[in-house]
Chains A and B, each alone.
Chain A
Amino acid sequence: MSQFDLRKAINNATEKIAAPIASRIKSDKIKRFIAQHVKIIPSVSTLVLFLIAFIIGGIIFGENFVTLRNTLSLFTDNTHLLISAVGMTLVIISGGIDLSVGSVAALSTMILAFGTAVDHGPDAIGLGLPMWLCVLVALAVGTLLGYLMGILIQIFKVPPFIATLGGMFFARGLALIISTDSIPISDEGFRALGMWRIPIPDIFHSNPRLIAPIGIGVFIFIVLLIFAIILMKSTKLGRNVYAIGGNEHSAELMGLPVKRTRIFVYTFNGFCSALAGIAFSLSLLSGWGRHLIGMELEVIAPVVIGGSLLTGGIGYPLGSMFGVMTQGIIGKFVSFGNLMSGYAKIMVGVLLFLFIVMQRIVIIIAEKNKEA
């Protein structure tokens, strides 16, 4: 599917549904506003959605829902998703997709666990290496896998779906080859790091007490997020990513380094996946080949909800963060309300759908405005 054909197909077919809705917006001022801010509207609406969900949760579940603790736990519980979403945002902006994130993360957990395990029993497994070394190896492996997938996609023209599917099986297979069982991480320093928390007084609670929900994983995420925001906003590389996602053919004709950019995007995402795995290990303290099965969906959905267009060219790492938090809040709805987890999945699916349709409408308005 060439980028060119896809956009034409989308534009042709969407006239029937989104155009009537778009044309009902009569006010020119609104139309112009939308057209000027096309790119950011989806992300802003995610933020708005998140706030609305929060408020609704507070109304339904009472004051227990609207605590600082609850909000911060959205960060700590989903650190691995937040980290992975940053990398995935770049991939999706470039017009691609990466299905290997969960598997590379699981491989990282296995590398950490296996590398540091010192078992003195009869079937001793583990290499007893220092943790910092294993962390470096895990990051290197993830980055390398990302690089290889980037090569498959760019040089060998393998569709990203298939290439990263192969990467997914490869990474998970590798993890299972290392060990089929889960291995606990026994490194004392690591465990301490994982349990370290910043104590934050819950000033909003009527009964002020110390709560301590922010761990080191959140800090890693924030550093990564700032890096990504600066990268996408202010560097040539970031702009190139937007360019190849928007229209690869034009980017090529303009002389932009398409090859290098695309390979970078997948390499970076491999790094993020490994980092996400490390963050996951910090909280779960074990390595297993079957960790994080299905994580790729839990990362792609929030990135789309966060305002990144799956066809590429538009997206913001910050928006993806709100997407993950929104997804997290839906999970909280389920647990607070004792609903079946099936409803959470349906709700995420519905949200995805609404957001995608909204993205289409906004884009149509913008394009019609350009013609006018």
Chain B
Amino acid sequence: MSVLKRITGSAMFTPLLVLLLIVIFNLIVQPGIFSVSINADGNLSGGLMLILLRSVPVMLLALGMTLVIATGGVDLSVGSVLAIGSAVSLSLIRGDTVAPTADTAMALWLVVVITMIVGVVCGLWNGFLVAKIGIPPIVATLIFMVAGRGLTQVITLERSITTGHLPFGQIANGFTLGVQNPIWIAFIIFMMFWLFTRKTAFGLFVESTGINKSAAKYSGIKSTKILLAIYAISGLCASIAGILSASNILAIQPARAGEDMELDAILAVVLGGTNMKGGKFNLGGTVIGAIILDLLPRTMTFLGVGIQYSMFIKAVVIVLIVLIQSPTTGRFVKSLFKTKVSNKQEVAANESV
């Protein structure tokens, strides 16, 4: 295959191209957006860091979502699980929950672990519905999306709650080795995803389950366990994102936390080139997709495009990208490029068969 074909055929091509276009455009009009500098505390800061930082929550959700979509499903509950994660971690830190504890000083690491376990449990619930009971993923996760939002409101007793626990705030606001923590967390989680899926057989199993679940099962792949695992992972990522979100502002608004984030996560995955029908997935593409989703409104804002246009632009971008990815357009484009000679050869080949 020619080099050009290999580049354009790569899964990362479209997302990278889109990102590149946006980046180049921004470099021309507002180079300051990508600035990196070292601030007074000796930490990296600046436009670029801000972009990375802001894309972390969606990126975490989208990484989990990538695996779910790879099995041909979708997880609509991640926004609600994020909210639950925020609510649980904040309530535990404060010490007053629906069931108040006597001692309000729960260790920070314990709070984090408990929240993550809650996330895993939520994910396992979804996985159980999908893998064991056989409910289509859209439906199963829709149930939890609704119920989970209600649960959040119950846990927080419908107030927005805050805390003054500064060490908790350090999770999202602190810096390690000069880089703000959430960026490290996203990086570590991405590496774990990448290692787990590309360096072990797990990724292959996920893809097989997505492409043809029954075939995978007959090949000896434990599809049920795989499905349970990826929904659990998705829940885990959502709860971590919830901790980060709560830690960032030391507060939560139960009705609004994580709202619409599931849609952004799905978008990031689709933008990144993973097919919604299931099968091959692209983790790097998802990361790029998350960054694009953050950069796009930023670019619009800078251009003076009012914030009211951002939703519309999002729609146009989605439609363009799915059109590009659509097999119908692929066939149409290919037919444009067919020359008379190759057509004749094809006809001759078909007739000789």
| B135 lies within 8 A of A360 (CB) | yes
| Assembled-state Cα–Cα distance A163/B326 (Å) | 12
- Which one of B57-65, B104-112, B305-313, B343-351 is at the A interface? B305-313
| B136 lies within 8 A of A173 (CB) | no
| A342 lies within 8 A of B145 (CB) | no
| A301 lies within 8 A of B150 (CB) | no
Assess whether B315 is interfacial by the CB under 8 Å rule. Answer: yes
| Assembled-state Cα–Cα distance A348/B143 (Å) | 8
| A159 lies within 8 A of B136 (CB) | no
A349 contact set on B, CB distance < 8 A: 143-144, 146-148, 150
| B139 lies within 8 A of A346 (CB) | no
- Which one of A54-62, A150-158, A275-283 is at the B interface? A150-158
| B276 lies within 8 A of A9 (CB) | no
| A343 lies within 8 A of B150 (CB) | yes
| A352 lies within 8 A of B146 (CB) | yes
| B214 lies within 8 A of A158 (CB) | no
| Nearest B-chain residue to A179, judged by Cβ | B308
| B314 lies within 8 A of A12 (CB) | no
| A310 lies within 8 A of B138 (CB) | yes
| A342 lies within 8 A of B151 (CB) | yes
B 212-262 contacts with A by CB, 8 A: 212-214, 217, 224, 254
A177 contact set on B, CB distance < 8 A: 308-309, 312
Interface centre among A9, A158, A311, A343 (most CB of B within 10 A): A9
| A13 lies within 8 A of B316 (CB) | no
> Which residue of B129, B142, B254, B310 contacts A297 across the interface (Cβ within 8 Å)?
B142
Assess whether B165 is interfacial by the CB under 8 Å rule. Answer: no
| Assembled-state Cα–Cα distance A13/B135 (Å) | 9
Assess whether A5 is interfacial by the CB under 8 Å rule. Answer: yes
B83 to chain A, nearest CB (A): 11
| A156 lies within 8 A of B134 (CB) | no
| A350 lies within 8 A of B309 (CB) | no
Interface centre among B152, B154, B158, B311 (most CB of A within 10 A): B311
| A14 lies within 8 A of B134 (CB) | yes
- Which one of A164-172, A225-233, A242-250 is at the B interface? A164-172
| A156 lies within 8 A of B322 (CB) | yes
| Assembled-state Cα–Cα distance A330/B157 (Å) | 19
Whether A13 touches B327, Cβ cut-off 8 Å, given contacts A172-B311, A340-B158, A342-B151, is no
A161 contact set on B, CB distance < 8 A: 74, 138, 266, 276
| A152 lies within 8 A of B319 (CB) | yes
Whether A356 touches B147, Cβ cut-off 8 Å, given contacts A176-B311, A341-B158, is no
B147 contact set on A, CB distance < 8 A: 345-346, 348-350, 353
B198 to chain A, nearest CB (A): 24
| A173 lies within 8 A of B313 (CB) | yes
| A1 lies within 8 A of B72 (CB) | yes
| Assembled-state Cα–Cα distance A156/B323 (Å) | 7
A352 contact set on B, CB distance < 8 A: 139, 142-143, 146
Q: Give 1 or 0 for each of A337-372: 1 = CB within 8 Å of chain B CB.
A: 000111111111110110011001000000000000
B327 contact set on A, CB distance < 8 A: 157
> Which residue of B136, B224, B276 contacts A310 across the interface (Cβ within 8 Å)?
B136
Assess whether A51 is interfacial by the CB under 8 Å rule. Answer: no
A2 contact set on B, CB distance < 8 A: 277
| A297 lies within 8 A of B315 (CB) | no
| B150 lies within 8 A of A173 (CB) | no
| Nearest A-chain residue to B153, judged by Cβ | A342
| Assembled-state Cα–Cα distance A301/B139 (Å) | 9
B136 contact set on A, CB distance < 8 A: 6, 10, 310-311
Interface size on B, residues (CB 8 A): 58
| B312 lies within 8 A of A174 (CB) | yes
| Nearest A-chain residue to B152, judged by Cβ | A342
Assess whether A127 is interfacial by the CB under 8 Å rule. Answer: no
A340 contact set on B, CB distance < 8 A: 153-154, 157-158
Whether A97 touches B138, Cβ cut-off 8 Å, given contacts A301-B146, A352-B146, is yes
Assess whether A335 is interfacial by the CB under 8 Å rule. Answer: no
| Assembled-state Cα–Cα distance A104/B318 (Å) | 17
A350 contact set on B, CB distance < 8 A: 147
A206 to chain B, nearest CB (A): 36
| B138 lies within 8 A of A173 (CB) | no
Assess whether A265 is interfacial by the CB under 8 Å rule. Answer: no
> Which residue of B150, B310, B326 contacts A344 across the interface (Cβ within 8 Å)?
B150
| A346 lies within 8 A of B151 (CB) | yes
B212 contact set on A, CB distance < 8 A: 5
| Assembled-state Cα–Cα distance A174/B309 (Å) | 8
Assess whether A304 is interfacial by the CB under 8 Å rule. Answer: yes
Q: Give 1 or 0 for each of B318-353: 1 = CB within 8 Å of chain A CB.
A: 110011001111000000000000000000000000
Assess whether A11 is interfacial by the CB under 8 Å rule. Answer: yes
| Assembled-state Cα–Cα distance A304/B139 (Å) | 9
| Assembled-state Cα–Cα distance A356/B311 (Å) | 33
A-B CB contact pairs (8 Å), 24 listed: A5-B213, A9-B214, A10-B134, A10-B136, A12-B214, A13-B133, A14-B133, A97-B138, A155-B328, A156-B323, A166-B319, A166-B322, A170-B316, A304-B139, A341-B158, A342-B150, A342-B151, A343-B150, A344-B150, A347-B150, A352-B142, A356-B135, A357-B135, A360-B135
Given contacts A158-B326, A167-B315, 20 further A-B contacts (CB under 8 A): A1-B278, A2-B277, A6-B136, A9-B134, A13-B131, A158-B323, A159-B276, A161-B266, A163-B322, A176-B309, A176-B311, A297-B145, A340-B154, A340-B158, A342-B151, A342-B152, A345-B149, A345-B153, A348-B150, A360-B134
For the complex of A and B, the 4 pairs showing the least CB-CB separation, nearest first, are A349-B147, A342-B153, A173-B312, A345-B150
Residues of B within 8 A of A (CB): 72, 74, 129, 131-136, 138-139, 142-154, 157-158, 212-214, 217, 224, 254, 263, 266-267, 270, 276-278, 306-316, 318-319, 322-323, 326-329
